[in-house]
Every structure is written in structure tokens, then in C-alpha cells.
Amino acid sequence: HRDLHSFPTRRSSDLIEQIRKGDFLLVKPGSKIPVDGVIIKGFSSIDEQAITGESIPVEKNERDTVIGGTINQSGVLTIEVLKTLEDSTLMQIIKLVEAAATSKAPIQKLADQISLVFVPIVIVISIVTFGVWMFLGQSFAYALAMGITVLVISCPCALGLATPVAIMVGTGKGAEFGVLIKSAESLEIAHKIQTVLLDKTGTITKGKPIVSDVVAMNGFTPDEIIQLAASLERNSDHPIAKAIIQKQVERHVELIEVTAFENLSGFGLQGEINGQRILLGNAKLLQKQKHDLVSIQTQLDDFARQGKTPILLANSSTVIGIMTIRDELKETSKQAIERLKKDHLRVIMLTGDNPLTAKAIANEVGIDEVISDVLPDQKEAIVIQIQNENQKVAMVGDGINDAVALMRSDVGIAIGAGTDVAIESADIVLMKDDLHDVATAIELSRKTIANIKMNLFWAFFYNVSLIPVAAGLFVGLNLTLNPMLASLAMSISSVSVVLNALRLRFFKPQRKENQS
């Protein structure tokens, strides 16, 4: 590792560019954390409002990650650098906002099509105006001034500004609330969303399950069940594996060697322990291996009705234990789903859980439609199926198994705390681990598109309505324009469009308004 750098210093800006992955940083109270890293010494309250939009400081301890651009409020921290300035979260946010602001939304094509027809027509009107006034005996200078006035007053600058300015303000406002919109196209499509598919684990729930029950049977003890399960799960990063390992640590149970280990995607695990084949997984895995579950089915159903996911452990001959996994709901999930439904959106929960467990969790958060027993590779098919019903679909997820569905959906929305694969696959990234921001993204899209349509209407109406005045049709009423007044009027048109787009800066999500 390199030398320990101290922040702040008089030349912090120069020093930041020299930081490399693996460096140690000493961050003093009141100073900004320069780049993403992990705390290796100290604890503090971190103000993350610049990144997440949340005003309440977050407590951080050793091994917690910190984000560049946030502010260390109290303690002295020693941080190991995980990302350089170029790769930091803050820089990625800046790049996303810049890319979205400069990209072209599909609605911009409408303005382009209008201009494609409008400009040649205006040129023809200008030439006709010049010719008519010459024919009526006016001087060359007068006729030329009238023709130029028509050209100036109808310059489609406002049409060209109507969309990009609103997109730029809208994406910037989204970033302020922790909603990162990757392109103008995704910002536009979001207002058309009719169905929202929500992955359960890590999206509706915290994604940090715990083992709530251990039932041993056929001569085994609870500690033996934990020992076998934890030994199988020891090398897995799956949330359920972490819950089982945590239980093993709490009970001080020793792990034993596993051979012939095999990961059965969507079903569970198997391996040999002490010369005996052990299965760990869901009911489908054991049924596939011809195990009879009739005797424990009532017990499994009872657990499922409580919102607990049963994990079964079996040897080659019989079921030897049941462990139940409970994943706690996020505090805001229920209110966020109510908000989506109030916005007349169809909300569907996707989960690999059995129907009883899935229904119990859905009832807790107020979701009426549930698709359960979903394997990772089936999520894309579900998205396509709903799209075939002429529905615009948004998929919200956080895991690798959500990536294909996120790409297939009309708008993919990734939880910022999710995997890099999910974030790369999504169109919109939520920096906060909060489902309220799904509704915020859709609301922002609706406001932005309404603003763009208003801009386009007034820009076109303004230009068209003043062309007859510029051409001199109202000379008899002493209502005329010269090129200088025409240029002023044209400028006012452009300024009005920009000012109207800037109204989006006052956008506040419904949730914020309700809380104030």
C-alpha cells in the first residue's frame, strides 16, 4: 500500500488525482470524503445528501463503505481506497447525467419533423411576401424588409430548445433526488409505464434474511442440521447462505468438510458429507429427487403462511430437517406500493418463493398480483408476456438474475445497492434503497413530458400566429413588424421556452410534499 494521505489539505484537489486503489486516506471531521472506499479504522456520521438526497446522516463503522463526495461529520476515519476519482460513484453520476442531458428523446423527433416541413414552407412564404409587395408597387427595400421579417419571426429556435432544455433540467432534478436516468429515451418512456414488476428479495425486502426456525427430525439435533447446512453453504455469497452461516456462528457450531459439491441453480445445493449425500434446497429439489413430503406438508404450509421460506435438508433416504428463512420488509415498501397504485399502475411481485409464502408477503405490502416459483431465467419470459398484452412494463430489481429482465423491459430500474450487472443493465438507477423512488422517476417523467409538449405547442403556435403580422396582412390596422422587432419577438419565444423548462426545478415528489 502507498502512503497515508490526509484530508483536507491546502492542495486536496491536486492530491485527489494522485490517489490510487489501495491507498489509505485519513479523513478529518468536517471534510469531504474524496473517493469511494471502506473504513478500516474509526467511526463517524456521514452526510450523504449530495449523493442520495437524504438529509439524515448515516452512521458508519469499520468495514462499512463510504462514497466520494459525501461529508465526514464527526469522527476521524482511516479509509482504504476502492475506486479512483475517475471510477468513483460521484463521477459515474456526473457522466450519467451528462449523457442523459445530451441524448435525444423520441419526442424530439416530433420537433425535427415539424421543422422539416415548417422551414421550407416559411421560406416559400417569405419569397411570396417579397414578391407580393413588389407587385403592389412598394420599394425593393420595403419588400425585402417584409420578407426578412417573415424569416426572422419564424426561426424555429424555440422548437429546437423545447425538448433538450426540459430533458437537461429533468435529468438533473432526478439526480438531486437520487434517481439517475441514463438516457432521454428512458426518461420519456417512463411516463407511459402501465405495469411495474417488483423483484421481492432486495427490492421489496431488505435482502438480508435471517434463520427464524430450525426443526430437526429423524434422530438429528438442531445443531447438526445447522452444521450440515452451513457446511454446504460456506462458499456461497447468496443471502440465504449468509443467514445460515450467521446462525452457525451464533450457535458456535463447527463446519465439516464437503466433497462432490454441486450448485443446483434455482433449486439448492448438494454434496457429500461423511460419505453421505446431503441435499439442501426448496421443496421442488426434494420432489425432483423422489423424496416424499406428504408427512411434513402441513408444517411447510404453516411456515409459508407466516411469510417464512422453508429450506429443506435431506439425506439419500429421508428429510432430516427444516430451516425457515425470514426476510424483513423495507420500512418504506408498503407506502411506496400504495403510492404506485394511486398512480393507477399495475403492481406485480416476482419471487422464487412458493405461493403461500409469496402471498403472505404480498398481503403485508398490499400487492394483489403475485407470480411465484419463478426461476431466474423465467423473469424475461414474464416481461415479454405482459408486453404482449400491450402493456408498457417497468422491471425493478437488484440482482444478477434480474439483469436480462431489466434489459427486456421497456424501462429497467435498478436499486443502487444491487449488483453491478443489474445497474449496467438498467435504464434508471435508484441511488437510495427505497421503492418510493420508482414512483418519483415515473412522476418526474410525466412532468417532463408534459413540459416538453407545452413547450412544443407554444413555440409552434407563437411562430405561426406571428407570420401573418410579419408578412404585413394587418398593415391596414397599423400592426406591422420590422426585422429588429421580429428578432426581439423571436428571442422572447426562445426565452419563454427555456423559462418554462426551468419550472421543472421546482418539482417535488408527492412523498416529499406529503411529508412537509
3-state secondary structure 33-59: CCCCEEEEECCEEEECHHHHCCCCCEE
CA–CA gap between residue 22 and residue 80 (Å, rounded): 6
Q: Which of 241, 287, 235 is nearest to 258 (CA)?
A: 235
Query: Is 199 in the active site?
Result: yes
Distances (CA, A) of 226 to 30, 214, 395: 46, 8, 36
Q: Which residues pair with 195 in a beta bridge?
A: 346, 393
CA-based torsion, 117, 123, 129, 131: positive or negative: negative
d(Cα 405, Cα 436) in Å, to the nearest integer? 21
Q: Could you please report the per-residue DSSP string of 443-460?
A: HHHHHHHHHHHHHHHHHH
Nearest to 155 by CA among 184, 124, 119: 119
**Non-local CB neighbours of 373 within 8 Å, separated by 6+ positions:** 284, 352, 353, 354, 355
- What is the C-alpha to C-alpha distance for residues 21 and 38, in angstroms, rounded to an integer? 11
Q: Are 230 and 313 in contact (CB under 8 A)?
A: no
Residues 6+ apart with CB under 8 A from 393: 193, 194, 195, 196, 197, 383, 386, 387, 409, 410, 411
User: What pLDDT, on a 0 to 100 scale, did the predictor assign at position 513?
Assistant: 46
Q: Are 243 and 211 in contact, with CB atoms under 8 Å apart?
A: yes
DSSP-assigned beta bridge partners for residue 346: 195
Q: What is the pLDDT of residue 52?
A: 56
* SS3 state at 493: helix
Mean pLDDT, the chain, as a whole number? 82
Q: Which three cell numbers stand for residue 169?
A: 433540467
pLDDT for 245: 92
| pLDDT at residue 237 in the model | 65
Task: Report yes or no: 76 and 111 within 8 Å, Cβ to Cβ.
Answer: no
Which amino acid belongs to residue 52?
A: T
Burial of 484 (0-12, 13-18, 19+ CB in 10 A): exposed
Conformation bin of residue 32: beta by default, left when phi > 0, alpha when psi is -120 to 50 = beta
Rounded CA gap, 497 and 499, in Å?
6
**CB of 122 closer than 8 Å to CB of 150:** yes
Nearest-CA neighbor of 395 among 100, 194, 179, 225? 194
- The reported pLDDT for the residue numbered 56 is 54
What is residue 515's predicted lDDT score, i.e. its pLDDT? Answer: 47
What are the start-end ranges of the H helices in 61-203?
89-102, 108-135, 140-153, 157-176, 184-189
Parallel/antiparallel/unpaired status of strands 346-350 and 369-371: parallel
pLDDT value, residue 100: 46
Here the cell at position 354 is 412458493
The rounded distance, in Å, linking the Cα atoms of 428 and 440 is: 11
Cβ atoms within 10 Å, residue 160: 17
C-alpha separations of 63 from 24, 35, 335, 393, 416 in Å: 14, 16, 31, 38, 19
The SS3 of residue 187 is helix
Catalytic-labelled residue, pool 199, 327, 433, 437: 199
pLDDT beneath 70: ranges in the chain? 1-15, 49-56, 93-112, 237, 265-266, 376-377, 399-401, 417-423, 511-516
3-state secondary structure of 342: helix
